[in-house]
Structure 1
Amino acid sequence: MASVDVTDDTRRAECEHFESVVKAFLFYREHALNVVSKAEVSYARLPPAHQAILSHLPAKFSAQKQCIEVNQHFLNTIIAHASGFTGNSHLLQGARTEFSYISPQGLDMDKIRCTLRQFVRDWSSDGLSERNQSYKPITDALQNYYSHYPIEQRYQLRVLLPGAGLGRLTYDIAKLGFSAQGCEFSYQMLLSSNFILNYAPGEKMLALHPWVLSSSNVWDAEAHQLKQVLVPDELPGGLPPNVDFSMVAGDFLEVYRNQRGEWDCVATCFFLDTASNVVQYVEHIHTLLADGGIWINLGPLLYHYSDSQDVDSTELSYSELRSIIQYYGFEVKEESERTCYYTQNPNSMMHTVYNCAFFVAIKKPSRGFVPSASQIASPHLRRSICETRVSCASGYQRPDVQL
């Protein structure tokens, strides 16, 4: 993509934000050891008789620290390949990935812990059940609605996936022969997907311990809390001929603001509720699709900004949302409720279950009614556009992967 003119202040703010994310990756060890240290202090303050009963805990704390070292090595490896990402961004020229000192102030460590769990969901055999719940209905619908297309011609169909996360669903769709592009806003996800898609050394060659700091609702600490997960379960590559597979960094509403009618399908998975104004999402998806294009959605309506004091948020029920979808010229062809987990520890004593809305909607011919996509970005988005294209063939090239 061509670069756009940005001010020095914008570039400086973007680099600072990016560097804060990198620092959080690199600070994980210290953060995690602080969590274990608190548990050690609590143990040391127990009455001696209770310490004797729980004499196995120091060994458990030691095992946790070893797992933390493994996680930090994994995160360091991601950052070590960040130049393949920053080198493609006009906004991140000069952004640092090495620091002599890192202050924890302002670092979002919860997002790093979530990123580790996201690797389980997207790129491990342990996440297969969740992928079958959330991703398979979407890929099944794609194959069903385009079954009249010969497989060798599917590459002509363009599928867009906003909120693509670590890129697994985008990759799975590309494997089916469709040209697929994921769009992601989070630098935690973008750095991680850049690594796993372009630089992973081999199948199941990377270890992590995603639940090591989760001490509540544990059946068995050694078997479950300290469990090792290997990624990736499949090494990205070997896509069908002519398939265009890529990841784009930026705000969905901004990156695709000038692509009216250019997409055959938009697939949204756990995405709609990231909007502060979900009507804007519906409007924009309608604009992006060609007449007869399909929109496949699966996800809940856990509106991310509903409790925010700084961001306006409009929350709609599913029936209200469905009316908006029809208002903009979609015909809902298929609709059901699907039960899904999201980055859950399958061995935990507690699970959050989402009863998700799944639908397939067709964009009807406009007949003169063409809603215009708003050019105003949602107020919570801190950057207007980041045009970095991070594809599976940028940097390290997998065999048979096409740009």
Structure 2
Amino acid sequence: MAAAGEWHGEYDPLEDPEEQRHILSILDSFRSYRRLAHHHGTHTRRQAFYALPSAHWTLLAAPPFNILSSLDQLDTLVDANADLADAIFITGFRAFVGPHLPPSLVASVIESKRLDPSDDLAICSALLDELDAKATPTDCDKARSCINQFYRDWSAAGSVERDACFSPVISALVAEFTNNKPDLNDVQVLVPGAGLARLVFDLVRAGFTVEGNEISYHELMASSLVLNHTTRAGEYTIAPFALGGSNHHSRADQFQTFAVPDVLPRAVLADAGSGSRVHASERMSMCSGDFCVLYGPGEDGQGGEQGRFDAVATVFFVDTAPNVVRYVEAVRHCLREGGVWVNLGPLLWHHVAKGPAESREGGAGVRERDMDRGVAEPGAVELTDEEMVKLVECFGFKVERQETGMVESGYMQNPRSMLVNTYRPSFWVARKVSDA
């Protein structure tokens, strides 16, 4: 398994000043989680509470309501979430910024601020201040979402959602390759939109050689923490539903906590690799950058990843595209002939509603010259499931299996909530039979 900072991509992001600013904003969004969550989560609620008529807030402060005690408990849960955010911040800073700083600057900051050399959080934070980092509101929202994502991907309770969405994909791949490639170690699988890398991890456990691709630095930093830097299962505790005050039957439902990760990835992969020809830790990699740019055809129709993978697995991914044709082109390009694309997910298109500036948000490896062929290109389209399947067939795929309604799943859903959103995603298996 690659150590922090060894995600490979098309170029060094710190060579690009705009990309540097983007990375610093993301780092500051994780660092700011504690302060902002306390402010928006409890400070503003206390202000609103005390703005009630005094007779009303006095009533609600006493048993059986104990609203002020609940807000105190919420502060404690915010701190638990923030411990995870701080750990991601340190991991990301060490990977993307620390190696590029002059040792003299680091020593000077430690000395001038009289920092404890063993206090990584204080040192990384002070150095980030020196670089004048400031998080954008969008990045702060993404940091909060990333912390909550650990519930779905890396908690025991999240296995309900994971099993519903991952199991059909993994089963289809095992069924596809068990007969014609007895050693699954030889099967190269690409997982675009890898997020916190749980599907990548689970496919490696199943025996495949897997490369995850992710454009979000939020997700890359968080996945590096959980894969490379956790020391035990349950190292962190999160309360993913605590900051939302609506649709709870009880405070106990709102304040549920979950231990993450549910397993120690390094230990699991060590066990999974003991009987394999290729050790599990050597069968996992993460690549940062725009999926379309890294894996799709270049302007000349060629590209270094052409025909490299035996399978592509996408879960809750295709609807992240503004122009989904680019995704189909990229999958076709990087799959070998006869390879399979296994997809499961809804079609929650959201780019059409965005303005041009929002649609062109940066990410890992998004450079100005790539804007017109990656996810940041202008334009967007929304297809139905029927149209999506027809589009796949237009690009030289034969859809061998298609099912809708076989899976019902929430997405980071509190199962105890009064409001439960359920997806009925489409599932299909398509084989590349020709180059369109």
Q: Which category of TM-score, normalised to the shorter sequence, fits these structures?
A: 0.7 to 0.9
Deviations 1:196-219 (A, max 9, x none): 000111011211121221101111
More helix by share: 2
Q: Percent of aligned pairs with the same residue?
A: 31
**Matched residues in 2 for 1:351 and 1:2: separation?**
38
Shift of 1:150: 5.9
Give, in angstroms, the shift of residue 302 of structure 1.
0.8
Match of 2:169 in 1: 138
The within-5 A match list for 1:121-270 is 121-149=152-180, 153-221=183-251, 223-236=252-265, 237-238=269-270, 239-240=272-273, 241=276, 242=278, 243=280, 244-257=283-296, 258=303, 259-270=305-316
Equivalent in 65, 72, 92 of residue 75 of structure 2: 65
The whole-number CA distance in structure 2 between the counterparts of 1:71 and 1:115 is 11
Report the equivalent of 2:27. Answer: 22
Partner of 1:286: helix, strand, or coil? helix
Q: Which residue of 2 aligns with 1:360?
A: 429
TM-score (norm: length of structure 1): 0.84
Question: How big is the alpha-carbon RMSD for the aligned residues of Structure 1 and Structure 2?
Answer: 2.3
Distance 1:248 1:102, change over 3 A: closer
Equivalence for 1:328: 395
SS in 2 for 1:295: strand
Offset from partner CA, 1:139-171 (integer Å, 9 cap, x none) = 1111111121565x1111100000000000011
How many residues are paired up?
A: 361
Long gaps (5+) in structure 1: 372-403
Which fold has the larger relative contact order, with Cα–Cα distance below 8 Å and residues 6 or more apart in sequence? 1
Offset, 1:85: 3.2
Contact 1:21–1:107 under 8 Å retained in 2: no
1:136 Cα offset (Å): 0.7
2:425 aligns to what SS in structure 1? Answer: strand
Moved more, 243-252 or 290-299: 243-252
Q: Report the Cα distance in structure 2 between the residues aligned to 1:274 and 1:293, rounded to whole angstroms.
A: 23
- In structure 1, the partner of 2:326 is 280
CA displacement at 1:53 relative to structure 2:
2.1
Q: Residue by residue, what CA displacement relative to the aligned partner does 1:293-326 show, whole Å, maximum 9, x if unpaired?
A: 0000001111131201214211111111111111
Distance (whole Å) between structure 2 residues aligned to residue 217 and residue 335 of structure 1: 35
Q: Secondary structure at the match of 1:350?
A: coil
SS of structure 1 residue aligned to 2:408: strand
SS at 2:38 equivalent: helix
Q: Partners of 1:131 and 1:246 in 2: how far apart?
A: 21
Question: Distance between the aligned counterparts of 1:3 and 1:348, measured in 2?
Answer: 40
**Distance in structure 1 (CA, Å) of the matches to 2:180 and 2:258:** 38
Structure 2 residue 45 is the aligned partner of structure 1 residue 45: no
